[in-house]
Amino acid sequence: MISRIFTQVLSTLAFCLLLTGTLSAQSRSGAISGIIRTSDGKPAAFVSVGIPKSGKGTNTAEDGTYQIRGVEPGTHVLRVSFVGLQSQDQTVTVTAGQTTKTDFALTESAAQLNEVVVTGTTTINRPASASKADIAPLDLPQSIGVVTSTVIADQQAQRLGDVLKNVSGVSLTQQRQGVAETFSARGYSIGVGGGGGSIFKNGLISNTQGFPDASTLESIEVLKGSSALLYGNVSGGLVINMVTKKPRYEWGGEASMRVGSYSFYKPIVDVYGPLSKRLAFRLVGTYENAKSFRDVVKSERVYVNPSLMYKLGDKTDLLVQGDYLKSNITPDNGVGVINQNADVQLPTSAVRSRFINAVWAYNNTDQYSASAVLNHRFNEQFKLNAIAGIMDTRVNGFGLNVPSAITAVATRKLAVGDYARTLGGVKTGERDYNAQLNLTGKFDTGFLGHQLLVGGDFLRIVSESNTFSYRSANGSTAAAYDTINILDRSRRRERTDMPDKSVLARTTSPSYRFGAYVQDLISLSPKFKVLAGVRWSYQNVKQTTIFNEATQVQTSGTLDDKYDKAFSPKGALIYQPLATMSLYASYTNNFTVNAGVDLNGNQLRPSLVDQYEAGFKNELLKGRIFTNLSVYRYRNSSLAQAAILPDGSVSPTARALTGETTSDGMDVDINGNFSKNFYFNTGYGYNFHRYTNTSGKTGSQVEGERLINNPAHTANASIFYTFDLPALRGFKLGASAFYTGQRFGGLNNTVNQAPAYDRLVSLSGFTTIDLSAGYTYRHFSVLAKLSNITDEMNYVVHDRYSINPIPPRQFLTTLGYKF
């Protein structure tokens, strides 16, 4: 009902804006277009082009082209500027009803421009590739966050979670056995596997088991809110796109050694250059070896990322990339937690290092990927982008399961804190096949300007998992291992022997996804724009097959094929009173696939989640400061919950789409680049995601209760400055602070649950502060960081009944040589 009213309002406003655009068109204004090139003739991307007197302006596209519509006839001063560079002016005369073509040549070369991008700035206001349509940030009715390689290098970030702390409203909510990370934004979480579907690498779905290596990334892009129009069945909270470093047509690179606390060392090599006039390469490689502040835990990793760029012609290029990751990590079950909210204080001096998995536990990941990206420019208006890729992830591990319960009330046989450990093996595989095709175009129909995106994508995922039998040295075949006490390790004798495991059965689960979408950003006038689009998604989860290792017989699973279809529309109104300011209001939705059947035995359809968002974006000081503020509401009015039988009781098996959750909040980012020597970024996010409609019957969720794993508040701030004074030239200082607010671990409660204790684990908020200092002399550099300088003690959620301590105060330094 609400979405229909919103659509009617949107149509009415669009008609009014269309009328406004028609009247303004009658004034017979003109336009300016052209291309900006560097001094060596190469296109200059993301350069600001504007008319200072009128406030009209735009940014150049990747091919250096630009267009400014709605310019009054007469003589104007056209200004070209780029953060960290001197602006340039040129006089241009505009004739009514005509487009005046004006090209620019910057005084800087492509290498000099690239040097400013790489070493001097952090959040240049450029389109995010994850948006697929090359829409300028002020025109995009969605909150985005971009963290560039400059921030990643200055903060010496190691993992994806280290980088995402720089984006408002995004938090690391879980660390599953220390081998994978889970993130949340706006109340919604994303997992690690391709099946989770919300983390991408260069636009292709990515499995992040084993942790991506942040030090090898060019940038990380975050699209907050629903991106179902572009990507289908993804999280409503955020989409993450990791952008890897690309080949360059000039020789260069860097070799560095990173060392730190707990025997950490990591050599990094990055080499690039031309192999011919049309062919360039890049090779990035790392090796990492480390112990941990956690007892027993250690890791060893190898990562290699080769890539080739070939110019097939003046308008066509082909990028081929591959990467290989081998990650051997000790799985870490956290420190455990008394279930639940019992009045027990864990001694902080012992908790931080305490290890409760088996001393012999291991988790080994091997991951390969390959992709090809073809870009073709038909002309200045239309471009084609085609992507294909494959990723294969294999995980082999053995250890003890994460606690599902820890004794809270002492009995005759059990003491408070007793944890019965059980064996758990893992042998999984996932192969993801990706394909994507996007056509973008910029053109006019009458007085209307269009920025069109038409595309489609295909994804095939084949997952494998195994079940095991276990045999100990004493002949035991049970999964039970032993019992320890997390409060007093001397209370019970702990086993250290490693049982054998053997595969019983292998389950293969194939699934397919297909989506087709169209989106158009329509300029009704220089100040009013409308974005409208829709996607149709089709998903097919095939029946599983089970191969019995003992009998060598393959059987089919009990569940039939499942088919899901959904439309994902998006509509937005954009008002730009100034060329540097934008306000927008939007509606979109996303869908979540549901398991189970209803009272009639039919498979459940997807739940549709409505999202309403309003935002404000503004550029200040000629683009040196960019602000982004958004407020939102999500409503899932078709949440799957236990079905109610005709007699009023709760069905033990059937489900119905009758529940509801609501997520309200806001996020704000302020990023500044005053020069290539000085930048800062800061952000704040608030979220309240809770159950707003439940049946109130036994087993249903508790109405009004906040969902687990979602901080109420998050905040971040970083500042880095490189001295340019003769006496201090080359010195760099920086500081970063990150706040994660109060949140709940454990499990959400249900009505009349048994046992009756509160299952939520309340974790207090905490702040960590990092200080950095460095020095660069010619080709050499050194950068040191002291993280968590106050030695703050707190936790992130592990899973169910365990939590992970955050790292203590640590030291990290990187010695580098650029060539």
Strands 204-205 and 199-201: antiparallel
Classify burial at 211, counting beta carbons within 10 Å of its beta carbon; exposed 0-12, middle 13-18, buried 19 or more.
buried
Confidence of residue 122 (pLDDT cuts 50, 70, 90): very low
> Under 8 Å CB-to-CB from 741, ≥6 apart: which residues?
711, 712, 713, 714, 765
Question: Which region holds residue 474: left if phi is over 0, alpha if psi is between -120 and 50, else beta?
Answer: alpha
508 touches 464 (CB < 8 A): yes
Which one is predicted more confidently, 740 or 98? 740
Segment among 194-203, 499-508, 546-555, 789-798 with least mean pLDDT = 194-203
Element (H, E) at 734: strand 731-740
- pLDDT score of 15: 40
Asked if residue 345 has pLDDT above 80, the reply is no
Confidence of residue 33 (pLDDT cuts 50, 70, 90): confident
- pLDDT score of 646: 85
Q: Which of 635, 628, 503, 513 is nearest to 563 (CA)?
A: 513
What are the structure tokens assigned to 667, written together? 């996020």
Give the mean pLDDT of the chain.
86
- Cis peptide bond upstream of 340, omega within 30: yes
Return the SS3 of 142.
coil
Secondary-structure breakdown of the chain: helix, strand, coil percentages, each rounded to the nearest 5: 10, 55, 35
Asked if residue 753 has pLDDT above 70, the reply is yes
Percent of the chain at pLDDT exceeding 90: 51
Can you say whether the dihedral through the CA atoms of 203, 206, 208, 214 is positive or negative?
Answer: negative
Segment among 85-99, 406-420, 720-734 with least mean pLDDT = 85-99
Return the SS3 of 803.
strand
Which one is predicted more confidently, 503 or 60? 503
Using one digit for the tens of pLDDT, what is the confidence trace for 309-320?
999 988 899 999
Which range in 89-93, 215-219, 256-260, 596-600 is most confidently predicted, on average pLDDT? 256-260
Q: Which of 245, 246, 164, 156 is nearest to 198 (CA)?
A: 164
Average pLDDT estimate for 599-617:
91
Q: Which of 497, 433, 509 is nearest to 466 (CA)?
A: 509
Confidence of residue 697 (pLDDT cuts 50, 70, 90): confident
Asked if residue 465 has pLDDT above 50, the reply is yes
Distance in angstroms (rounded) separating the CA atoms of residues 116 and 107 = 14
Using one digit for the tens of pLDDT, what is the confidence trace for 509-532?
999 999 999 999 999 988 999 999
Return the SS3 of 13.
helix
Written as one letter, the residue type at 458 is: F
- pLDDT score of 520: 96
Query: What's 245-275 look like in SS3?
Result: CCCCCCCEEEEEEEEECCCEEEEEEEEEEEC
Average pLDDT estimate for 493-498:
92
Using one digit for the tens of pLDDT, what is the confidence trace for 53-110?
766 777 777 677 887 877 888 888 888 876 556 677 888 888 887 888 888 888 776 6
Asked if residue 500 has pLDDT above 50, the reply is yes
- pLDDT score of 538: 95
Using one digit for the tens of pLDDT, what is the confidence trace for 159-192?
888 999 999 999 887 766 567 788 889 998 886 5
Q: Which residue has the tokens 């020789």?
A: 251
Rg (CA), the chain: 28
Return the SS3 of 348.
helix
Written as one letter, the residue type at 244 is: T
CA distances from 344 to 405, 408, 757, 802 (A): 15, 9, 14, 14
- pLDDT score of 113: 62
- pLDDT score of 581: 92
Q: Which residue has the tokens 């495991």?
A: 501
Segment among 249-263, 443-457, 590-604 with least mean pLDDT = 590-604
> Under 8 Å CB-to-CB from 276, ≥6 apart: which residues?
none
Which one is predicted more confidently, 23 or 551? 551
Asked if residue 676 has pLDDT above 80, the reply is no
Strands 99-101 and 30-37: parallel
Can you give the pTM of this predicted structure? Answer: 0.86
Domains observed in the chain: 2-120 (2.60.40.1120), 243-361+380-818 (2.40.170.20)
CA distances from 595 to 391, 507, 601, 640 (A): 26, 18, 12, 9
Average pLDDT estimate for 210-235:
89
Distance in angstroms (rounded) separating the CA atoms of residues 688 and 665 = 6
- pLDDT score of 68: 81
Distance in angstroms (rounded) separating the CA atoms of residues 387 and 319 = 9
- pLDDT score of 662: 95
- pLDDT score of 85: 61
Asked if residue 456 has pLDDT above 80, the reply is yes
Q: Which residue has the tokens 């236990």?
A: 642
Average pLDDT estimate for 289-303:
94
Asked if residue 370 has pLDDT above 50, the reply is yes
Average pLDDT estimate for 594-611:
88
Segment among 29-38, 232-241, 283-292, 353-362 with least mean pLDDT = 29-38
Q: Which of 533, 690, 570, 666 is nearest to 3 (CA)?
A: 570
What are the structure tokens assigned to 184, written together? 């949340």
Using one digit for the tens of pLDDT, what is the confidence trace for 196-208?
578 999 999 998 8
Asked if residue 474 has pLDDT above 60, the reply is yes
- pLDDT score of 13: 41
Q: Which residue has the tokens 């032993």?
A: 482
Per DSSP, helices labelled H in 210-332 are 228-231
Q: Please provide the DSSP assignment of 746-802 as one string.
A: E---BTT-SS-S--EEEE--EEEEEEEEEEEETTEEEEEEEESTT----EEE-SSS-
- pLDDT score of 341: 52
- Find the distance separating the first CA and the last CA of the chain, reported in whole Å: 62
Which one is predicted more confidently, 674 or 365? 365
